[in-house]
A and B are shown apart, each in its own frame.
Chain A
Amino acid sequence: MIAKNEPAGTPALSIIVPFYNEEDSIGPLHAALVAALEPLGLSFEMIFVDDGSRDATLERAIEVARADPRVRVVRFRQNRGQTPAMAAGIEHAHGDVLITMDGDLQNDPRDIPLLLERIEAGYDLVVGWRFNRQDKLVTRKIPSRIANWIIGKVTGVPIRDNGCSLKAYRGALIKQIPLYSEMHRFIPAMAFVAGPRIAEVQVRHHARQFGKSKYGLSRIYKVLLDLLVIKTVTSFMSRPLVWFAILCVPAFICGFSAFAFTAFSVLTGSQAPSLVILGTGVLFSAAALIALSSGMIAELVYKLGDVREHEFARLTARASRNHQVLTPTGGHP
């Protein structure tokens, strides 16, 4: 499936690395990548995304690119964060298989062959798992453990390490997954709508050599909100109207019982009909109606948008005709 030594045209592999203020890492990383990839005998390209660094990262990247025509440098006008940097890298990559990794030398390029092996075995998405993580326990490892547990529970994709950037994707699939805001942590969850076969691979993790970490505890709040969004957005996907209808059920019950109560008191004459109860009923019924109409709008939004379920289904499907394997994505035989 991975084309060997393709002279021109699309390379077999694209390595995408976002850099933000990593002037010391870029040279060693490039050397390590080349050392790890050249023995594989595959054609590959490297996409270095400079996320508006303020140090000499860009100059170093250009130096590297000058010496190695396989390197493409994508320069951002200003710092935008890791997800946009990855999204840009994915957009500018042409490989059949895309690999993303961190630019801080904490991921090890020698693990790439392990990921590729899994892709060749037929997986669509291979996620690195930093089983021996070299980070601070209290501020990094424990929150990450909790976050991964919650993400797994909520999205139904039980991955032990969502935060590991070292991942491999089938190019055709990842290019269809919407990536924005801070969603790179949720790529497996986002990709899940396409029903990919996901594998986990233990990867090495090194302590930070240069520069300093760009994360703190503050991101947890945002992660939780993003999680809620992903959950709703991906589960709404196939039938938004139904989901909004479920949302409106409690409101409908409240409204209906208020009406029933009023009707009951009028019919039996046991109590004077109460304006407060009736008004409450009207309000809740209105809420139910509005939730339903929102559902209709949501249907319209999905219909006009460019996230298509059948497109995902086609990308991850395996087709065969009379024992002959047809794979639309250039996937595995």
Chain B
Amino acid sequence: MSNRSVEVSVIIPVGRRHVPMAALHAEYRAGLDRTKRSYEFIYVLDGPQMDAAEALRDLQRRGEDMTVIALAREFGEATALMAAFSHARGEVVLTLPAYHQIEGSEIHRLVQSLAHCDLAVGRRWPRAGGRFELLRRRAFHGFVSAVTGVRFSDLGCGARAMRRRVLEEITLYGDQHRFLAVLAARQGFRVLEVDVRQSARDRFEGEYRLREYAHRMLDLLTVIFLVRFTKKPLRFFGMIGVLTWGCGALVILYLVAQRLFLSEPLADRPALLLASLLAVLGLQLFAIGLLGELIIFTHARHIKDYQVEEVIQFARTSSARPPGEAASHAARELVEDSPQLSPRA
């Protein structure tokens, strides 16, 4: 049974926030049946989620075919996704939240959208929620699009369908699952937002605490750095460093000139302390930028600037045939590409 090849691998990371598994599983399964494709379920327990583990064991006992991976501690949803992905066999990977976000009956629309793109992310629409909620979401997505240059309107939606190679190329960790769409778009994958009906039970019971916001912002900072400056650290650190150093140097020059020509003693000029602090800080920032460049330079062979979609070469056939005929016998060598799923647009 486990050797059977499947088309869709469904990954469901179960974190602290989850609903009873049995009902959810039934809903998702009904939704997947509508896709008319073979599928497998992979549940990842992110940390010891006792009740969910128990419920899943029950389901397995009742003959449900599923893989359950229990992580030893809470690693975060993105890490859980990656752990599950290493067990996934399908050409299409579908991630679903462990709580109600979208109607299960909408799943097939995500999977079908892959005919036109590499990653289809759900957008809950029409969306419930108060005015403050709306404002908060707008601000977050506006900020994300301002710094990364790609516009999305529901990064929080956990329902995403993607081709296998998206996760093969993008390594996520911690809480970066929210930014999968952003990172994939930056890698040149075609990403589509697909409107899906929001589940009537999609409510966030808790409240967004300050810590939650701080976490989001820090994640965003990481993403900014990852997409913007990984290849050119000196452009970032060097510029700030030179500016800081320049300010400091100017003030020092000014003070020294006053000392030399106007005989104002340096000893009681606190501005000198500030100026030298700036100069020193500038020097340090510049040194950090240089170190960054050194790391890039020495590891350039592992950090690829480009993504090769495919390599095309037609096989050499016997030399007696004219080139035109040879082509019809040629086998096209495809790398990293699945012919049946990617009709050339």
Which A residues lie at the B interface, using CB under 8 A? 52, 61-62, 65-69, 71-78, 80-81, 83-85, 87-88, 92, 178-181, 225, 228-229, 232-233, 236, 240, 244, 247, 251, 254, 271, 274, 276-277, 279-280, 283-284, 286-287, 290-291, 294, 297-298, 301-302, 304-307
Please pick, from B232, B284, B299, B305, the residue contacting A80 in the complex, using a CB distance under 8 A: B305
A85 CA to B291 CA, complexed, in Å: 26
B298 touches A251 (CB 8 A): no
Q: Is the C-beta of B3 less than 8 angstroms from some C-beta in chain A? A: no
**Which chain B residues lie closer than 8 Å to A279 at the CB level?**
273
A247 CA to B314 CA, complexed, in Å: 55
B297 touches A233 (CB 8 A): yes
What are 19 sample pairs from A and B whose C-beta atoms fall under 8 A apart? A69-B316, A74-B308, A77-B307, A77-B308, A78-B307, A80-B305, A83-B305, A84-B306, A85-B306, A228-B234, A229-B234, A229-B293, A251-B283, A280-B272, A305-B294, A305-B297, A306-B298, A306-B302, A307-B300
B297 touches A178 (CB 8 A): yes
**Which chain A residues lie closer than 8 Å to B284 at the CB level?**
287, 290-291
Q: Is the C-beta of B270 less than 8 angstroms from some C-beta in chain A? A: yes
A305 touches B295 (CB 8 A): yes
Please pick, from B266, B299, B311, the residue contacting A75 in the complex, using a CB distance under 8 A: B311
Distance in angstroms from B25 CB to nearest chain A CB is: 36
Please pick, from A66, A236, A276, the residue contacting B266 in the complex, using a CB distance under 8 A: A276
**Which chain A residues lie closer than 8 Å to B294 at the CB level?**
233, 236, 240, 298, 301-302, 305
Main SS of chain B's interface residues?
helix
A90 CA to B117 CA, complexed, in Å: 30
Q: Is the C-beta of B178 less than 8 angstroms from some C-beta in chain A? A: no
Q: Is the C-beta of B218 less than 8 angstroms from some C-beta in chain A? A: no
**Interface 9-mer from B74-82, B156-164, B323-331:** B323-331
A87 touches B327 (CB 8 A): no
Given contacts A178-B297, A180-B305, A62 and B312 within 8 Å (CB-CB): yes
A241 CA to B304 CA, complexed, in Å: 28
Contacts of B310-343 to chain A: CB distance below 8 A: 310-317, 323-324, 326-327, 330
Please pick, from B268, B279, B305, B323, the residue contacting A181 in the complex, using a CB distance under 8 A: B305
B272 touches A276 (CB 8 A): yes
Residue of A nearest to B185 (CB): A78
A179 touches B300 (CB 8 A): yes
B314 touches A302 (CB 8 A): no
A75 touches B297 (CB 8 A): no
**Which chain A residues lie closer than 8 Å to B305 at the CB level?**
80-81, 83-84, 87, 180-181
A271 touches B231 (CB 8 A): no
Supply 20 further A-B pairs (C-beta < 8 A) apart from A76-B307, A305-B297, A306-B298: A66-B330, A69-B315, A74-B312, A87-B305, A92-B311, A178-B300, A229-B234, A229-B293, A233-B293, A251-B283, A274-B267, A276-B266, A276-B267, A280-B272, A283-B276, A287-B280, A287-B284, A294-B287, A305-B294, A306-B301
Given contacts A271-B267, A274-B267, A283-B276, A178 and B287 within 8 Å (CB-CB): no
A304 CA to B297 CA, complexed, in Å: 12
A77 CA to B309 CA, complexed, in Å: 5
Given contacts A66-B330, A88-B308, A225 and B298 within 8 Å (CB-CB): no
Q: Is the C-beta of B260 less than 8 angstroms from some C-beta in chain A? A: no
Distance in angstroms from A34 CB to nearest chain B CB is: 11
Given contacts A77-B189, A92-B311, A225 and B235 within 8 Å (CB-CB): yes
B306 touches A88 (CB 8 A): yes
Residue of A nearest to B186 (CB): A78
Distance in angstroms from A52 CB to nearest chain B CB is: 7
Given contacts A178-B300, A276-B270, A280-B276, A75 and B308 within 8 Å (CB-CB): yes
A290 CA to B291 CA, complexed, in Å: 12
A87 touches B306 (CB 8 A): yes
Given contacts A290-B284, A305-B295, A306-B298, A77 and B234 within 8 Å (CB-CB): no
B291 touches A72 (CB 8 A): no
**Which chain B residues lie closer than 8 Å to A61 at the CB level?**
312
Which 5 pairs, one residue from A and one from B, show the smallest C-beta to C-beta distance? A305-B298, A78-B188, A178-B300, A274-B267, A77-B188
Q: Is the C-beta of B290 less than 8 angstroms from some C-beta in chain A? A: yes
A97 CA to B189 CA, complexed, in Å: 34
**Most chain A CB atoms below 10 A, which of B188, B276, B293, B308:** B276
A65 CA to B324 CA, complexed, in Å: 11
A297 CA to B283 CA, complexed, in Å: 16
**Which chain A residues lie closer than 8 Å to B30 at the CB level?**
none
A68 touches B298 (CB 8 A): no
Contact with A along B221-254 (1 / 0, CB 8 A): 0000000000110110010000000000000000
Residue of A nearest to B273 (CB): A279
Residue of A nearest to B278 (CB): A283
**Which chain B residues lie closer than 8 Å to A62 at the CB level?**
312
Q: Is the C-beta of B296 less than 8 angstroms from some C-beta in chain A? A: yes
A173 CA to B280 CA, complexed, in Å: 40
A102 CA to B237 CA, complexed, in Å: 33
**Which chain B residues lie closer than 8 Å to A67 at the CB level?**
323-324, 327
A302 CA to B324 CA, complexed, in Å: 52
**Most chain B CB atoms below 10 A, which of A88, A279, A284, A301:** A301
